[in-house]
Amino acid sequence: MSIQSAPGTELAKQLSLAIKASQELQVLAEADHWQDFERQFRQRDSLLHAIDAEVTRLLPLSGEDAKLIGGKLQQLRELNDQLLTIAESRKNATVADLAKERGARKAVNAYSKP
């Protein structure tokens, strides 16, 4: 079956939506809007499961279709890699902030003792 057919057109739309959702996740992560990120992530995850099921249903893909889908999946992989990098960076910054706060509390406690 070709993605040029009605189901294939739907798959192309779903892939484009997943790419857009991933880009939105990147913006949310960079802005430290983690609650919105979590909600958007769950929505995108559901969409990715639907895409996986649709690709499986359309297999085998023609060379042209495989190339188109492969390109969109590569975009998704690259966006996911960027998201992981941002999340790891934010996690490391948060851990460093917590360590500084813990050290400050210990210092305050130490100077507060008679």
**How far apart are alpha carbons 38 and 15 in whole angstroms?**
20
pLDDT at 4: 52
29: alpha, beta or left? (left if phi > 0; alpha if psi -120 to 50): alpha
**How far apart are alpha carbons 48 and 54 in whole angstroms?**
10
pLDDT at 7: 55
pLDDT tens for the chain, residues 1 to 114: 455 555 567 888 899 999 999 999 999 999 989 899 999 999 999 999 999 998 888 888 778 888 888 888 899 999 999 999 998 998 898 889 888 888 888 888 888 776
CA-wise closest residue to 67 among 10, 15, 6: 15
pLDDT at 6: 54
pTM value? Answer: 0.75
